[in-house]
């Protein structure tokens, strides 16, 4: 059974959750096919956020969804137990 909890977060709080981030759709990720599980749509999102902590990923994913942004979560095979959250939240820097 899934429980609903309420956490108040700001964009500044979000910035403390991820380990690193970068523009996503400006990099030729296709040359690294097989790196992400499941394989992402390389053109759909503009930002990537990496997380080593699954609990931080859950909070970030919930925040992005609450802000009205789509997202996609993938395991990054190149990192030690790292996840990447793809979204348009944060825009292109």
Give 15-54 pLDDT, tens digit per residue. 999 999 998 887 777 777 788 899 888 888 999 999 999 9
Q: Is residue 79 over pLDDT 80? A: no
Closest CA to 38 of 76, 87, 81: 76
Evaluate whether 90 touches 47 at the Cβ level (below 8 Å).
yes
| Integer Cα distance of 26 and 42 in angstroms | 10
Mean pLDDT (whole number) for 76-87: 86
**The pLDDT of residue 91:** 72
pTM for this predicted structure:
0.87
DSSP for 24-42, written as a single string: STTS-GGGGTTSEESPP-T
Q: Is residue 89 over pLDDT 90? A: yes
Q: Is residue 60 over pLDDT 80? A: yes
Closest CA to 21 of 58, 41, 51, 42: 51
| Integer Cα distance of 12 and 26 in angstroms | 24
Mean pLDDT of all residues in the chain? 89
**The pLDDT of residue 41:** 84
Helices (H) and strands (E) in the chain, counts: 2, 5
């Amino acid at each position: 059974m899934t429980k609903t909890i309420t956490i108040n977060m700001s964009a500044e709080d979000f910035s403390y959750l991820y380990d690193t981030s970068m523009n996503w759709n400006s990099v030729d990720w296709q040359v690294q096919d097989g790196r992400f599980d499941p394989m992402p749509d390389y053109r759909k999102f503009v930002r990537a956020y990496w997380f080593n902590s699954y609990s931080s990923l859950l909070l970030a994913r919930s925040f992005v969804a609450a802000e009205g942004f789509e997202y996609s979560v993938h395991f990054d095979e190149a990192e030690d137990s790292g996840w990447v959250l793809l979204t348009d939240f944060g825009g292109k820097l």
